[in-house]
Amino acid sequence: MRGETLKKRVRQHLHQVSTPAQYLGGEVNSVIKDPGQVEGRICLAFPDTYAIGQSHHGLQVLYTILNNDPRWACERAFTPWVDFEGVLVEQRFPLYSLETFTPLVEFDIVGFSLQYEVLYTNILTMLSLGGIPLTREERTWDHPLVIAGGPGAQNPEVMADFVDVFVIGDGEESLPWLVEEWMRLKRAGTLTREEAVARLVSQVSWAYAPAFYEPSYNQDGTLAALNRTRSDVPARIHACRITRDFDDIPLPTRPIVPFVRTPHDRVALEIMRGCPWQCRFCQSTVIKRPVRVRSVDTIVNAALEAYRNTGCDEISLLSLSSSDYPYFEELVGRMAAIFGPLGVNVSFPSLRVNSQLRTLPALVRGVRKGGLTLAPEVARDDMREQIRKKIKNDDLYEGCRQAFRNGWRKVKLYFLCGLPGERRSDLDGIVEMARKIGEISRAETGGYRPVVASVSNFVPKPHTPYQWSAMQERDYFAGVRKYMLARLRTPRVEINQHDVETSMLEGVLTRGDRRVGRAVRLAWSRGARLDGWRENFQPSLWWSALRDSGIDPAFYSQRERGHDEVLPWDHIETKRDRPFLENEHSKSRIQLQLMAEV
C-alpha cells in the first residue's frame, strides 16, 4: 500500500480515536523528501506516544542532523495509543512514518531511543505493527536494520533478542557514520545480513551486536561470562563517540511544531552536556562525561532563529545542571534582555542549588515567571554527603525567597526515597523542607503559593556506584508515602510519590539480563502496552509474566551484589571504569556506617 493510499484510508478511521492530529504528520518544519532522490531512509522510532516523543530534544537533534544531509531521508514514528493500535490491527494497516506514510518495514534503518525501561514493550508493539519480525534471527535483507541507543542501551541485555545493533554514546556523530556504512554494505550485496552486521560493528568499538555474544551462567543464576562467538567483534564496547566541540553540532533551529498540545510545548536548546558533579545515584553524570558547553553567542543566535521559525512563547535551556554552565549570568542576562520585551519566557528546568540560585530571580526580572524547579534529592546533610550531592539548605531557602519576591508563582522539588541507609529523619526532612518553602511563600507574597515535592523511588542504575546496592521492597515505599502524608499540614504544599509498582518493574528491567527479555515478550503478548502511563499499566500482568518466565524479580532488583560478581552490563564501558565505581561504592558504605553510629 503506497503512502498516499494509506494516508487516505487512515484518515477515514481517525474519528474513532482520541487526538487524531497526532497521526497525520505535515507539521510545520517537518521534512519530506522524495524517496527516489535519496540514498537511504531512516525512521526514528520513539517508543512512546507522539506527545512525549515529539517533546524529546534528542529526537529533534538527530532528525535535524540526518535531514541536513541530502543523501538521507529521516522520518518519524511513535507508539500509537491503544485506540489507534486497535484501528491498525482491525484494518490491517501497518504502522507508518508521519512524513510519507511509509510502513516501518520499508525503511533501511529503524532506530529506537531507549529513554525509560518501562517502555520496552512499546518497541515490540512498533516492530509488530510495522511489519518487522520481533527477533533479530528472523530478519532478512528484506527488513530494516533495527538499532537502539539512549540511557537504556547502557544495559542492552534485556532487549538483546530484539535489537540488531546498540549504539553506545553520543549519537550526533555515530549515527551518521552508521547510516552511511550500513547503506554501503547493503548496496554492495555481497554479504549475508548477519555478515554485514558483523562487518559493521567490527569497524568501531561503540556498536554492540548481541548476536555475536553468548552469556553463560553460574549454578546460583548469576552471570558467569558474556563470550564472543567470533573474534572480529569488539570484546568490550566503549562509549567513545564523544562530541567534544559542542558548537560544531547544529542545534535544531527549525524544530517541528506539533499540531497537538505536548508536555513540553516550547523551544528546547541544550546549552551544556555532562555535569561537573559526581552524585553517586546519577547515571547521566557518568554516561555523559566529559562536560562540554556551547558559547553564549551560539545559544542566543539559535534561540532567536528557533523563535522566528516556530513562534513559541517559551525557550527552555537544557542541561543536567543549567546553573553550572560557566557563562550562566551572561547567558541569563542576554536572554532576558532579548526575550523579555517579546513576552517570551526563558526557563531553566534543571537548576543546581548553590549560591548562584540566590541571584537568579533578579537576573531574569523582565521575563515572564512560571515555576522554579529544583532537585535537592535529600534534605539532611549527612545523607547528602553519602550520595555526594553537595548543596546547602540556606542557598535553597534564599533562592526560593528571592524567586517568590520576584514573581515566581510556584516551586517544584525533586527528592529520592529508598536510598541506601535512609532513616525516618530523612523522610521528616523532606516534609520539613517542603513546609518551610510554603511558609517562605506566604511571608513573601502574603499567601501560600503552590509547592510540590515530587518523590521518586530510588532504583539503582547500571554504571553508578550504587549498581551493587539492593533496591527497597514495595512495602517500604508504600510506607514512605503514608508516613510523609501523615506529617504534612501546610496549605498548598503537596507531596507526590512515583507509582510504586512501576518502580518495582523498573528495578527488574534496568538490572536484568537476557533471560528477562523472555518476560518482556510474554508480557507484551498478553497485552502489556504503554506501561509508562498509569491508566494502561497492569502490574499483575507483569508479575505473572515474570513468574511464568522463571524470573524472580527480587533476584535482579532487591539483591545486594558483590564486587566480584559479573554484571550483565560489564562489557559496556563508560568514562568511569569499574575500579572507580567500586571505590565510590566502598566509600558510601563507610559513610553509611558512620551515619548509623551517630
Which cell is 346 given?
526563558
Which cell is 476 given?
517500604
- Please give the full DSSP string across 138-165, using - where no structure is assigned: G--TTSPEEEEESGGGGS-GGGTTT-SE
Contact call for residues 122 and 48 (beta carbons, < 8 A): yes
Residue 68 — very low, low, confident or very high, per pLDDT cuts 50/70/90?
A: very high
Residue 369 — very low, low, confident or very high, per pLDDT cuts 50/70/90?
A: low
> Rounded mean pLDDT of 156-165?
98
Q: Is residue 438 scored above 60 in pLDDT? A: yes
Predicted local confidence at residue 290, as pLDDT: 84
Sign for the pseudo-dihedral over CA of 55, 57, 58, 64:
positive
Q: Give the list of residues 6+ apart from residue 403 with CB closer than 8 angstroms, or none.
A: 360, 361, 369, 372, 411
> Rounded mean pLDDT of 173-178?
93
Domains of the chain: 3-169+171-238 (3.40.50.280)
**Cis bond before residue 290 (omega within 30° of 0):** yes
Can you name the residues that pair with 140 across neighbouring β-strands?
Answer: none
Which of 215-224, 365-374, 529-538, 579-588 is predicted least confidently?
365-374
Contact call for residues 87 and 17 (beta carbons, < 8 A): yes
For the CA atoms of 185, 187, 189, 193, the dihedral, rounded to the nearest 10 degrees, stands at 50
Predicted local confidence at residue 320, as pLDDT: 85
Contact call for residues 138 and 27 (beta carbons, < 8 A): no
The C-alpha atoms of residue 69 and residue 321 are separated, in whole angstroms, by 32
To which H or E segment does residue 267 belong? strand 267-270
The vertex-202 CA angle with 199 and 208, nearest 5°, equals 105
3-state helix, strand, coil in the chain (%, to 5): 45, 15, 40
The vertex-557 CA angle with 554 and 559, nearest 5°, equals 70
Q: What is the DSSP secondary structure assignment for residue 528, as one 8-state letter?
A: -
> Rounded mean pLDDT of 56-63?
94
> What is each CA distance from 177 to 173, 181, 205, 288, in whole angstroms?
7, 6, 13, 20
Q: 181-189 long-range CB contacts below 8 Å, 24 or more apart? A: 182/40, 182/108, 182/109, 182/145, 183/39, 183/40, 183/108, 186/108, 186/141
Residue 491 — very low, low, confident or very high, per pLDDT cuts 50/70/90?
A: confident
The tens digit of pLDDT for each residue in 307-362 reads 999 989 889 999 888 878 899 889 988 998 899 899 898 887 777 776 666 666 66
Sign for the pseudo-dihedral over CA of 436, 441, 442, 443:
positive
> Which single residue is written with the C-alpha cell 510556584?
410
The C-alpha atoms of residue 100 and residue 75 are separated, in whole angstroms, by 8
Q: Is residue 597 scored above 80 in pLDDT? A: no
> What is each CA distance from 40 to 33, 331, 415, in whole angstroms?
11, 39, 45
The C-alpha atoms of residue 11 and residue 375 are separated, in whole angstroms, by 44
Strand order in the sheet with 314-318: 267-270, 314-318, 345-347
> Rounded mean pLDDT of 65-89?
97
The tens digit of pLDDT for each residue in 235-279 reads 999 876 666 678 888 899 999 999 988 888 889 999 999 888 888
The C-alpha atoms of residue 316 and residue 327 are separated, in whole angstroms, by 16
125: alpha, beta or left, given left = phi > 0 and alpha = psi -120 to 50? alpha
> Of the candidates 386, 331, 370, 352, which has an alpha carbon nearest to the alpha carbon of residue 592?
386
Predicted local confidence at residue 596, as pLDDT: 76
Q: Helix 500-510 crosses helix 514-525 at what angle (to 10 degrees)?
A: 140
Contact call for residues 119 and 78 (beta carbons, < 8 A): no
The C-alpha atoms of residue 72 and residue 68 are separated, in whole angstroms, by 8
> Which single residue is written with the C-alpha cell 491503544?
82
Contact call for residues 43 and 109 (beta carbons, < 8 A): yes
Predicted local confidence at residue 14, as pLDDT: 94
Contact call for residues 77 and 132 (beta carbons, < 8 A): no
The tens digit of pLDDT for each residue in 395-417 reads 889 888 988 888 888 899 999 99
Q: Is residue 364 scored above 70 in pLDDT? A: no
Predicted local confidence at residue 363, as pLDDT: 66
What's phi and psi for 490, nearest 5 deg?
Answer: -90, 135
> Which single residue is written with the C-alpha cell 555523559?
288
